[in-house]
Amino acid sequence: MSNIANKFFKYRSYTPIPFIILMLLYEDANVWSLILGFIMALTGEFIRFWGVSWAGSETRTTGSVGGTFLIISGPFAYIRNPLYAGNILMYLGFGIMSFAIFPYLQVVALLFFFIQYHYIVMEEEGYLAKTYGSSYEEYCKNVPRFFPRLTPYKSKNVVQPPFDWKDGLKSERRTLQAFLFVTLTILLLWFFRRF
**Predicted confidence (pLDDT) per residue in 27-76, tens digit:** 999 999 999 999 999 999 999 999 999 998 766 554 555 677 899 999 99
pTM for the full predicted model: 0.91
pLDDT for 171 beyond 70 = yes
- The pLDDT of residue 11 is 87
Q: Tell me: the pLDDT tens digits for 113-139?
A: 999 999 999 999 999 999 999 999 999
Domain ranges of the chain: 3-194
**DSSP assignment of the chain, as one string?**
--HHHHHHHHTTTTTTHHHHHHHHHT----HHHHHHHHHHHHHHHHHHHHHHHHHGGGGG--SS---SS---SGGGGT-S-HHHHHHHHHHHHHHHHHTTTTTHHHHHHHHHHHHHHHHHHHHHHHHHHHHHHHHHHHHHHHS-SSS--SS----TTS--PPP-HHHHHHHTHHHHHHHHHHHHHHHHHHHHHH-
- The pLDDT of residue 61 is 56
